[in-house]
Amino acid sequence: MNRKEQEMQFHNMREEDRSCMDEESFLKKYSNKKYYAIQRKSTEYIDGLIERSVKGKTVLDYCCGLGAMSLQMAQKGGIVYGIDISDESVKTAEAEAKKAGVADRTNFSVMDAEELQFPDNTFDVILCSGVLHHLDLDNAYPELARVLKPGGLIICGEALGYNPIISLYRKMTPHLRTAWEAEHILTLRDLRKAKKYFGTVKVDYFHLASIAAVPFRNTPIFKPILSTLEAVDDVLLKIPYVQLMAWQMIFTLSDPKVAK
């Protein structure tokens, strides 16, 4: 089975599990979901970028999954196209768009993210939320540059591949991700590669000390602990090299370079 078939099968299976399991059983099987409880800072950052960028714009939710971000961007005034390799995820995204009353502002398709079926210069904004490490960037970056309008913006949220403790956790939980995904968490090398296709690459780092709040996520003291650790992150993640130990980074790509 090739890489793309494995990705499709894994994400179809996870969506089937989500639809047939109760929440407790699903979270027990996919135990990495608990870490998303501390994502407040990065979520607020991306939400701010979306708020400022998508109104009245043509938007691509690149590897949209269940479509949560597609719905958010449609509600903020974007005309949103969502694509994903998982047909089960696309079905769910379509159903959720209808429930949310934004089906007229969304269009979902099963599509290979490395071979986009859109004309050049189609999108004002592209959102890549936790997806690039699933892809071959030598194929994905030029396709993203091709379909982005000259004045457009790509918003990328990705895990970062340097922290040895986080890397050990990934190795100890192989059932939570595909083999390709585990071996292709992004590093600065991947940001440098982006510069081949985009004139401007900007990056910010999120979640280091705040990860320690995860064990408290279901307790009354979670919010004050998280706020304290976020304040620590505000200091730590301004320090060169230390910031590379962060769990996640958010970077933007703009000024697409025309292929020669």
More confident residue, 20 or 76: 76
Give the mean pLDDT of the chain.
92
Give the pLDDT confidence of 116-136 residue by residue, as tens digits.
999 999 999 999 999 999 999
Structural domain spans, the chain: 3-256
> Is residue 34 very low, low, confident or very high in pLDDT (cuts 50, 70, 90)?
confident
Closest CA to 93 of 77, 110, 118, 116: 110
Q: What is the pLDDT of residue 149?
A: 97
What tokens appear for 150 in the block? Answer: 């000259």
Torsion sign (Cα): 33, 37, 42, 45: positive
d(CA 24, CA 246): 28
pLDDT bucket at 236, cuts 50 / 70 / 90: very high
* 1 pLDDT tier (thresholds 50, 70, 90): low
* pLDDT for res 201: 97
As a CATH number, domain 3-256 is: 3.40.50.150
Q: Which amino acid is it at 179?
A: A
148-188 pLDDT per residue, tens: 999 999 999 999 999 999 999 888 887 777 777 778 899 99
Whether the predicted pLDDT of 108 surpasses 90: yes
